[in-house]
Protein backbone atom coordinates (compact mmCIF):
# COMPACT_ATOMS: atom_id res chain seq x y z
CA UNK A 1 0.00 0.00 0.00
CA UNK A 2 1.34 3.43 -0.91
CA UNK A 3 0.59 6.12 1.71
CA UNK A 4 0.89 9.78 0.72
CA UNK A 5 0.47 12.37 3.50
CA UNK A 6 -0.43 15.87 2.28
CA UNK A 7 -0.52 19.31 3.95
CA UNK A 8 -4.24 19.88 3.44
CA UNK A 9 -7.41 18.82 1.63
CA UNK A 10 -6.58 20.75 -1.54
CA UNK A 11 -3.20 19.02 -1.77
CA UNK A 12 -4.93 15.63 -1.26
CA UNK A 13 -7.12 16.46 -4.27
CA UNK A 14 -4.17 17.61 -6.39
CA UNK A 15 -2.17 14.44 -5.68
CA UNK A 16 -5.24 12.23 -6.17
CA UNK A 17 -5.99 13.87 -9.51
CA UNK A 18 -2.37 13.42 -10.59
CA UNK A 19 -2.60 9.70 -9.80
CA UNK A 20 -5.90 9.25 -11.67
CA UNK A 21 -4.65 11.32 -14.64
CA UNK A 22 -1.46 9.23 -14.79
CA UNK A 23 -3.51 6.00 -14.99
CA UNK A 24 -5.93 7.53 -17.52
CA UNK A 25 -3.02 8.55 -19.74
CA UNK A 26 -1.48 5.08 -19.57
CA UNK A 27 -4.78 3.27 -20.27
CA UNK A 28 -5.90 5.59 -23.08
CA UNK A 29 -9.18 7.27 -24.12
CA UNK A 30 -11.46 4.39 -23.06
CA UNK A 31 -10.31 4.41 -19.43
CA UNK A 32 -12.90 3.10 -16.95
CA UNK A 33 -13.00 5.13 -13.71
CA UNK A 34 -14.81 4.06 -10.54
CA UNK A 35 -16.21 7.09 -8.76
CA UNK A 36 -17.21 7.73 -5.15
CA UNK A 37 -19.64 10.31 -3.79
CA UNK A 38 -19.37 12.10 -0.43
CA UNK A 39 -17.16 15.02 0.51
CA UNK A 40 -13.73 13.39 0.34
CA UNK A 41 -13.21 13.18 -3.45
CA UNK A 42 -14.62 16.62 -4.31
CA UNK A 43 -11.22 18.28 -4.34
CA UNK A 44 -9.84 15.44 -6.51
CA UNK A 45 -12.70 15.95 -8.99
CA UNK A 46 -12.10 19.72 -9.00
CA UNK A 47 -8.42 19.17 -9.84
CA UNK A 48 -9.32 16.66 -12.57
CA UNK A 49 -11.81 19.20 -13.96
CA UNK A 50 -9.04 21.84 -14.11
CA UNK A 51 -6.95 19.46 -16.21
CA UNK A 52 -9.91 18.81 -18.51
CA UNK A 53 -10.55 22.57 -18.86
CA UNK A 54 -6.85 23.18 -19.55
CA UNK A 55 -6.95 20.55 -22.31
CA UNK A 56 -4.29 18.34 -20.70
CA UNK A 57 -6.77 15.53 -19.95
CA UNK A 58 -9.56 14.30 -22.21
CA UNK A 59 -12.17 12.03 -20.62
CA UNK A 60 -14.81 12.36 -23.35
CA UNK A 61 -14.50 8.66 -24.22
CA UNK A 62 -14.06 7.44 -20.65
CA UNK A 63 -16.63 5.38 -18.75
CA UNK A 64 -17.51 5.75 -15.08
CA UNK A 65 -19.11 3.45 -12.53
CA UNK A 66 -20.37 4.84 -9.22
CA UNK A 67 -19.85 2.85 -6.03
CA UNK A 68 -23.32 3.04 -4.61
CA UNK A 69 -26.82 4.49 -4.51
CA UNK A 70 -29.55 4.93 -1.92
CA UNK A 71 -32.49 2.56 -2.20
CA UNK A 72 -35.88 4.14 -2.77
CA UNK A 73 -34.69 7.72 -3.30
CA UNK A 74 -35.94 8.99 -6.68
CA UNK A 75 -33.02 9.71 -9.03
CA UNK A 76 -34.32 13.28 -9.44
CA UNK A 77 -33.72 13.90 -5.70
CA UNK A 78 -30.70 16.26 -5.41
CA UNK A 79 -29.00 13.86 -2.96
CA UNK A 80 -29.53 10.67 -4.97
CA UNK A 81 -26.08 9.53 -6.01
CA UNK A 82 -27.33 9.63 -9.60
CA UNK A 83 -27.78 13.41 -9.18
CA UNK A 84 -24.61 13.87 -7.13
CA UNK A 85 -22.46 12.07 -9.72
CA UNK A 86 -24.04 14.10 -12.53
CA UNK A 87 -23.31 17.36 -10.66
CA UNK A 88 -19.83 16.62 -9.30
CA UNK A 89 -18.37 14.24 -11.88
CA UNK A 90 -20.18 13.91 -15.22
CA UNK A 91 -20.62 17.60 -15.97
CA UNK A 92 -17.33 19.02 -14.61
CA UNK A 93 -15.23 16.25 -16.22
CA UNK A 94 -17.16 16.45 -19.50
CA UNK A 95 -17.97 12.73 -19.42
CA UNK A 96 -20.48 11.28 -21.86
CA UNK A 97 -23.60 10.67 -19.67
CA UNK A 98 -24.35 7.53 -21.71
CA UNK A 99 -21.15 5.99 -20.32
CA UNK A 100 -21.74 6.98 -16.68
CA UNK A 101 -23.34 4.24 -14.59
CA UNK A 102 -24.88 4.39 -11.11
CA UNK A 103 -26.42 1.34 -9.40
CA UNK A 104 -30.20 1.30 -9.74
CA UNK A 105 -31.73 1.88 -6.31
CA UNK A 106 -35.35 1.83 -7.42
CA UNK A 107 -37.45 -0.84 -5.76
CA UNK A 108 -38.40 -2.39 -9.08
CA UNK A 109 -35.87 -5.07 -10.07
CA UNK A 110 -33.82 -4.48 -6.92
CA UNK A 111 -33.22 -8.21 -6.37
CA UNK A 112 -31.19 -8.52 -9.55
CA UNK A 113 -29.83 -4.97 -9.79
CA UNK A 114 -26.53 -5.93 -8.13
CA UNK A 115 -25.82 -8.80 -10.50
CA UNK A 116 -26.67 -6.63 -13.48
CA UNK A 117 -24.34 -3.89 -12.25
CA UNK A 118 -21.42 -6.28 -11.77
CA UNK A 119 -22.08 -7.66 -15.28
CA UNK A 120 -22.03 -4.12 -16.73
CA UNK A 121 -18.63 -3.48 -15.12
CA UNK A 122 -17.26 -6.70 -16.63
CA UNK A 123 -18.78 -5.83 -20.04
CA UNK A 124 -16.96 -2.46 -19.93
CA UNK A 125 -13.66 -4.31 -19.42
CA UNK A 126 -13.40 -3.77 -15.65
CA UNK A 127 -12.48 -0.67 -13.68
CA UNK A 128 -8.98 0.74 -14.36
CA UNK A 129 -8.90 3.03 -11.35
CA UNK A 130 -11.37 3.14 -8.47
CA UNK A 131 -11.62 6.35 -6.44
CA UNK A 132 -12.66 5.69 -2.83
CA UNK A 133 -13.47 7.55 0.36
CA UNK A 134 -13.63 5.87 3.76
CA UNK A 135 -16.33 6.03 6.43
CA UNK A 136 -15.41 6.89 10.02
CA UNK A 137 -16.24 3.23 10.77
CA UNK A 138 -13.91 1.97 8.03
CA UNK A 139 -16.52 1.32 5.36
CA UNK A 140 -15.70 1.55 1.64
CA UNK A 141 -18.60 1.98 -0.71
CA UNK A 142 -21.42 1.26 1.71
CA UNK A 143 -19.84 -1.99 2.87
CA UNK A 144 -20.35 -1.53 6.57
CA UNK A 145 -18.27 -3.38 9.23
CA UNK A 146 -18.69 -7.20 9.01
CA UNK A 147 -19.44 -7.08 5.25
CA UNK A 148 -17.95 -10.10 3.52
CA UNK A 149 -14.56 -9.26 2.04
CA UNK A 150 -15.67 -11.23 -1.06
CA UNK A 151 -19.08 -9.54 -1.40
CA UNK A 152 -20.56 -8.53 -4.74
CA UNK A 153 -22.84 -5.58 -5.55
CA UNK A 154 -25.96 -5.95 -3.42
CA UNK A 155 -28.40 -4.24 -1.07
CA UNK A 156 -27.08 -3.32 2.40
CA UNK A 157 -28.53 -1.66 5.49
CA UNK A 158 -26.75 1.53 6.56
CA UNK A 159 -25.47 1.67 10.15
CA UNK A 160 -26.84 4.35 12.49
CA UNK A 161 -23.39 6.03 12.39
CA UNK A 162 -23.39 6.27 8.58
CA UNK A 163 -26.95 7.63 8.58
CA UNK A 164 -25.95 10.20 11.21
CA UNK A 165 -22.82 11.15 9.21
CA UNK A 166 -24.90 11.61 6.05
CA UNK A 167 -27.64 13.65 7.74
CA UNK A 168 -25.69 16.76 6.67
CA UNK A 169 -26.91 16.18 3.10
CA UNK A 170 -30.60 15.95 4.14
CA UNK A 171 -33.10 18.02 6.14
CA UNK A 172 -33.14 15.54 9.03
CA UNK A 173 -31.80 12.10 9.99
CA UNK A 174 -35.24 10.63 9.30
CA UNK A 175 -34.86 11.61 5.65
CA UNK A 176 -31.64 9.59 5.22
CA UNK A 177 -32.55 6.29 3.50
CA UNK A 178 -31.96 3.11 5.53
CA UNK A 179 -30.87 0.96 2.62
CA UNK A 180 -28.43 1.28 -0.23
CA UNK A 181 -27.11 -0.74 -3.12
CA UNK A 182 -23.33 -0.85 -3.11
CA UNK A 183 -20.51 -2.41 -5.06
CA UNK A 184 -19.27 -5.32 -2.98
CA UNK A 185 -15.80 -5.47 -1.50
CA UNK A 186 -14.96 -8.25 -3.96
CA UNK A 187 -16.22 -6.04 -6.80
CA UNK A 188 -14.11 -3.08 -5.64
CA UNK A 189 -11.02 -5.28 -5.26
CA UNK A 190 -11.25 -6.28 -8.95
CA UNK A 191 -10.41 -2.72 -10.00
CA UNK A 192 -6.86 -2.64 -11.39
CA UNK A 193 -5.87 0.29 -9.14
CA UNK A 194 -7.43 1.86 -6.04
CA UNK A 195 -7.02 5.50 -4.95
CA UNK A 196 -8.48 6.28 -1.52
CA UNK A 197 -8.67 9.88 -0.28
CA UNK A 198 -9.54 11.09 3.23
CA UNK A 199 -9.30 14.28 5.29
CA UNK A 200 -9.76 15.29 8.91
CA UNK A 201 -9.14 13.97 12.41
CA UNK A 202 -12.52 12.18 12.45
CA UNK A 203 -11.05 9.74 9.90
CA UNK A 204 -7.78 9.13 11.81
CA UNK A 205 -8.89 5.96 13.64
CA UNK A 206 -10.32 4.40 10.47
CA UNK A 207 -7.15 5.24 8.52
CA UNK A 208 -4.92 3.72 11.22
CA UNK A 209 -7.06 0.56 11.31
CA UNK A 210 -7.02 0.30 7.51
CA UNK A 211 -3.28 0.82 7.05
CA UNK A 212 -1.70 -0.61 10.19
CA UNK A 213 -4.35 -2.87 11.70
CA UNK A 214 -5.23 -6.47 10.84
CA UNK A 215 -7.16 -7.34 7.67
CA UNK A 216 -10.65 -7.78 9.04
CA UNK A 217 -14.25 -7.24 7.97
CA UNK A 218 -14.57 -5.17 11.16
CA UNK A 219 -12.69 -2.50 9.17
CA UNK A 220 -13.72 -3.23 5.57
CA UNK A 221 -11.13 -0.81 4.15
CA UNK A 222 -8.34 -2.95 5.65
CA UNK A 223 -8.84 -5.24 2.64
CA UNK A 224 -6.84 -2.67 0.65
CA UNK A 225 -3.76 -4.28 2.22
CA UNK A 226 -4.47 -7.21 -0.13
CA UNK A 227 -4.58 -5.08 -3.30
CA UNK A 228 -1.38 -4.85 -5.36
CA UNK A 229 -1.99 -1.24 -6.46
CA UNK A 230 -3.66 0.67 -3.63
CA UNK A 231 -2.74 4.32 -2.98
CA UNK A 232 -3.99 6.11 0.14
CA UNK A 233 -3.82 9.92 0.00
CA UNK A 234 -4.65 11.73 3.26
CA UNK A 235 -4.12 15.02 5.02
CA UNK A 236 -2.06 15.44 8.22
CA UNK A 237 -5.14 15.23 10.47
CA UNK A 238 -6.34 11.93 8.95
CA UNK A 239 -2.76 10.62 9.30
CA UNK A 240 -2.70 11.61 12.98
CA UNK A 241 -2.85 8.06 14.38
CA UNK A 242 -0.41 6.38 11.98
CA UNK A 243 2.60 4.91 13.77
CA UNK A 244 4.80 4.96 10.68
CA UNK A 245 3.77 8.41 9.38
CA UNK A 246 7.39 9.64 9.18
CA UNK A 247 8.39 6.58 7.19
CA UNK A 248 5.55 7.12 4.68
CA UNK A 249 6.59 10.78 4.28
CA UNK A 250 10.24 9.91 3.73
CA UNK A 251 9.27 7.26 1.19
CA UNK A 252 7.14 9.70 -0.82
CA UNK A 253 9.74 12.50 -0.65
CA UNK A 254 12.45 10.18 -1.94
CA UNK A 255 10.59 8.41 -4.75
CA UNK A 256 12.73 7.69 -7.78
CA UNK A 257 12.05 10.04 -10.72
CA UNK A 258 10.05 7.45 -12.69
CA UNK A 259 7.59 6.93 -9.84
CA UNK A 260 6.86 10.63 -9.23
CA UNK A 261 3.47 12.13 -9.91
CA UNK A 262 2.91 15.24 -12.01
CA UNK A 263 1.08 17.20 -9.28
CA UNK A 264 -0.42 20.54 -10.44
C1 LIG B 1 -19.56 7.20 -1.27
C2 LIG B 1 -19.11 6.07 -0.49
C3 LIG B 1 -18.72 6.18 0.95
C4 LIG B 1 -17.98 7.47 1.29
C5 LIG B 1 -17.68 7.53 2.78
C6 LIG B 1 -16.98 8.79 3.18
O7 LIG B 1 -19.90 6.78 -2.58
O8 LIG B 1 -19.10 5.02 -1.01
O9 LIG B 1 -17.90 5.09 1.29
O10 LIG B 1 -16.79 7.52 0.56
O11 LIG B 1 -18.88 7.43 3.50
O12 LIG B 1 -17.82 9.88 2.97
P13 LIG B 1 -17.25 11.37 3.06
O14 LIG B 1 -16.27 11.49 1.95
O15 LIG B 1 -18.44 12.24 2.82
O16 LIG B 1 -16.64 11.51 4.39
Q: Give domain limits for the chain.
A: 2-259
In the predicted model, residues of the chain with pLDDT beneath 50 are none
Which of ligand 1's atoms lies nearest the C-alpha of 162? 11
Is any atom of ligand 1 closer than 6 Å to the C-beta of 199? no
The whole-angstrom separation of Cα 113 and Cα 104 is 6
* Residue 50 alpha carbon to ligand 1 centre in Å: 23
Is any atom of ligand 1 closer than 6 Å to the C-beta of 38? yes
* Residue 142 alpha carbon to ligand 1 centre in Å: 8
Is any atom of ligand 1 closer than 6 Å to the C-beta of 135? yes
Is any atom of ligand 1 closer than 6 Å to the C-beta of 145? no
Question: Quick one: pLDDT at residue 163?
Answer: 97
Question: Quick one: pLDDT at residue 126?
Answer: 98
Is any atom of ligand 1 closer than 6 Å to the C-beta of 144? no
Q: Specify the residue with its C-alpha closest to ligand 1, atom 4.
A: 133
Question: Quick one: pLDDT at residue 157?
Answer: 97
Mutate to test the pocket of ligand 1, among 105, 131, 135, 223 (most ligand atoms within 8 A of CB): 135
Is any atom of ligand 1 closer than 6 Å to the C-beta of 139? yes
Question: Quick one: pLDDT at residue 65?
Answer: 99
* Residue 160 alpha carbon to ligand 1 centre in Å: 15
Question: Quick one: pLDDT at residue 155?
Answer: 98
Is any atom of ligand 1 closer than 6 Å to the C-beta of 142? yes
Whole-prediction pTM: 0.98
Residue range 2-259 in CATH 1.10.3720.10: no
Is any atom of ligand 1 closer than 6 Å to the C-beta of 13? no
Is any atom of ligand 1 closer than 6 Å to the C-beta of 36? yes
Amino acid sequence: MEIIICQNEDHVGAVGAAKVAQIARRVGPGVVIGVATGGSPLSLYAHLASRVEAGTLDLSEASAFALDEYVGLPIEHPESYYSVIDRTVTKPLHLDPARVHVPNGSLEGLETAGQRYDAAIVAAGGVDVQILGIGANGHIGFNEPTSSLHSRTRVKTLTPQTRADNTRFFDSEDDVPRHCITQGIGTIMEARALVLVANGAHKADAIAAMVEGPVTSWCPASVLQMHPRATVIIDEAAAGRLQLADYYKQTYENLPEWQRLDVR
